[in-house]
Amino acid sequence: MIKHPIPPLYDENSKVLILGSFPSVKSREQMFFYGHPQNRFWRVLALVFGEDTPLTIEEKRSFVLRHNLALWDVLASCDIEGSADSTIKNAVANDLSEIIKNSKVAKIFVNGKTAEKYYIKYTEKKLGRKAICLPSTSPANASYSIERLKEA
């Protein structure tokens, strides 16, 4: 069982919560979200907001808070092989109520179908909020170009 090592990133001004499924090996090593260089998350966000892609963890943290975003993952712990969402077993959900109570989050997005599946299974009824599913920014989602991801 691997425990989620990264705390949620948000502040009292956060209005949009973006949830992944569970951090990749690279993200767990870096102790920050979307740490794999092939993941397109940071490039897509930069395109959406018309900014340069943040590169360092500090730039990424600042970017998220400056745009009133919040980041975390649906799962608090699970058994997983490497970074493959398809191998997740024994999943336990994060409690998102702290973020909701201490921010202005009005919209919740999930990054990909796996995050959506676990959000619906464990979190949607508890929070009483639906999440909007965006296509995964993972390199495994090769059918989506960076431009299609931005449009979505």
Residue 142 is predicted with a pLDDT of 85
Judged against a pLDDT cut of 90, whether residue 29 lies above it is answered with yes
Judged against a pLDDT cut of 90, whether residue 111 lies above it is answered with yes
Choosing from 13, 39, 94, 102, which is the catalytic residue? 39
Q: What confidence tens digit (pLDDT) does each residue in 71-110 have? A: 999 999 999 999 888 899 999 999 999 999 999 999 999 9
* Residue 111 lies in domain: 2-151
Q: What is the mean pLDDT of residues 112-133?
A: 96
Q: In terms of pLDDT, which residue wins out, 144 or 139?
A: 144
| 94 labelled catalytic | no
Are residues 21 and 88 in contact, defined by beta-carbon separation less than 8 angstroms? yes
Number of domains observed in the structure of the chain: 1
Q: In terms of pLDDT, which residue wins out, 140 or 149?
A: 149
Burial of 35 (0-12, 13-18, 19+ CB in 10 A): buried
Q: What CATH number is associated with residue 54?
A: 3.40.470.10
pTM of the shown model: 0.95
Q: Quick one: CA dihedral 120, 42, 23, 88, positive or negative?
A: positive
